[in-house]
Amino acid sequence: MMAPNACMVSPQAWFRSKGLHARKSLGQNFLQDAAVAQAIVDRSGVGAEDIVLEIGPGLGALSFPIARRVKRLVVVEKDPELAAWLTTEIAEKNFQNITLHAADILQLDWMAIFDEMLRDAEGYRLVIFGNLPYNISSQIVVRLVEHRHRIERAVLMFQKELAERLRAEPGGRDYGRLTVLLRFCAHITTLVNVGARSFYPKPKVDSEVIEIRFPKPEPFPVPDEAALIRVVRAAFGNRRKTLKNSLMAGLPGVRTEDIAHILRTIGIDPVRRAETLDIEDFIRLSLAISAREIMTTER
C-alpha cells in the first residue's frame, strides 16, 4: 500500500524542471521530507470536525495530508506560479474539499473568508494552519489575535527564534510585545521540532511547530483591549529604556508626572524594564493609564 504522503513532490526537482528559483522575498522554504510533513499533520490532531485555512500551501506538502483528514480546506498562496500548479494538482488528485485563493493573505478580509468557510458548517471548528513565510510571521500572529474570537486554534511553523519569543517567560530578552499579546488570550504548546535539513532551500535555522489555542473564556479577560495593546507597544518601544521613559515616549497623550505616579500607585518601580512585567502587571498598568486618560480629558 502507498504511504499516505508518498506522492509528495520534491521541491528541488520541481524548481529545476520549471527553470525557476525559490523566492526569498516570499519566505519560500519548502518541506521536502514527506514523513515530517505527515508527522506535523498527525500531531496537529486536525480531524473531520475541522475547517482549515492554510497560509502559503506552496507545493502542497501539508495541504494534501490536511485535506485527507478535514471537512474543508481553504489555501491562500501568493506566488502565482505555485498557485497555478497547485490548482491543477488539486483537480488532478480530485480533492473536492480544497479551495484555492491565489492571493496575499495580508490583503484578504479574514472575516469574509471565515464567513465563506463556515457557511453551512455550523458546529465545525476553524483552524489556521501554515508553514509560515518567516517575513510575515509576526504580522500573522497579530492578525490571529485580532480575529481570535472566530478561531479555535492555529498550528503554525515558525523559525526557532520567533517560536522562542512567542513562548518566552518574563525576565528574558525573548519576552516581548508578541509574547504578551498571546499570553493574555492564548495557550501555547510546542508540537514538533523540525531541523533545517527538512527544507528546500535549507534555511540557516531550525523551525518549530506551535499550537496556539484560543480558549473561551479567555485566560485573562481584559476590559479595554485597545488600551492594553497601546500600552504594551509603548512599553516595548525601546527595550533599553526604563519603563517610565518608554511609556513617556510611546504615549505622548499622557503627562510625564502622571506616568511616574501611576507606576508607583500600582506598585511597579518606574525604573524597571518592560520585559520584567507579567501579563497581570500589564493589565493593571493599562487600566490605570486609561483611567487617568479619562480623568484628564474630563478635567
CB of 193 to ligand SAM, least distance (A): 15
CB of 160 to ligand SAM, least distance (A): 14
Binding to ligand SAM, residues 200-259 (CB under 6 A): none
Of 3 and 249, nearer to ligand SAM (C-beta) is 3
- How far apart CA 93 and CA 276 sit, in angstroms, is 52
Q: Which of 76, 141, 145, 243 binds ligand SAM (CB under 6 A)?
A: 76
**Residue of closest CB approach to ligand SAM:** 56
In sequence order, what DSSP letters do the residues of 242-257 get, joined into one string?
-HHHHHHHH-TTS-HH
Q: Which of 72, 78, 148, 244 binds ligand SAM (CB under 6 A)?
A: 78
Q: Does 50 bind ligand SAM (CB under 6 A)?
A: no
* Residues 161 and 183 sit within 8 Å (Cβ to Cβ): no
Beta strands in the chain (DSSP E): 30-31, 50-55, 72-77, 98-102, 125-131, 153-159, 187-194, 199-200, 207-213
CA distances from 82 to 19, 90, 140, 278 (A): 13, 12, 21, 43
Q: Does 61 bind ligand SAM (CB under 6 A)?
A: yes
Q: Which of 29, 38, 246, 290 binds ligand SAM (CB under 6 A)?
A: 29
* Residues 50 and 125 sit within 8 Å (Cβ to Cβ): yes
Q: Give the orientation angle of helix 256-265 with respect to helix 243-250, to 10 degrees.
A: 130
- DSSP state for residue 157 in the 8-state scheme: E
- How far apart CA 87 and CA 193 sit, in angstroms, is 30
* Residues 57 and 98 sit within 8 Å (Cβ to Cβ): no
Q: Does 111 bind ligand SAM (CB under 6 A)?
A: no
**SS3 category, 169:** coil
Instruction: Name the amino acid, one letter, at 131.
Output: N
CB of 162 to ligand SAM, least distance (A): 13
Q: Does 133 bind ligand SAM (CB under 6 A)?
A: yes
Q: Does 57 bind ligand SAM (CB under 6 A)?
A: yes
Q: Does 85 bind ligand SAM (CB under 6 A)?
A: no
Of 206 and 224, nearer to ligand SAM (C-beta) is 206
CB of 168 to ligand SAM, least distance (A): 23
Q: Does 176 bind ligand SAM (CB under 6 A)?
A: no
CB of 73 to ligand SAM, least distance (A): 12
Q: Does 65 bind ligand SAM (CB under 6 A)?
A: no
CB of 129 to ligand SAM, least distance (A): 9
Q: Does 136 bind ligand SAM (CB under 6 A)?
A: yes
Phi, psi for residue 101 in degrees, rounded to 5: -115, 120
CB of 213 to ligand SAM, least distance (A): 21
For residue 178, what is its C-alpha cell? 508578541
- Footprint on this chain of ligand SAM (rule: CB under 6 A): 26-31, 55-58, 61-62, 76-79, 82, 104-106, 131, 133, 136
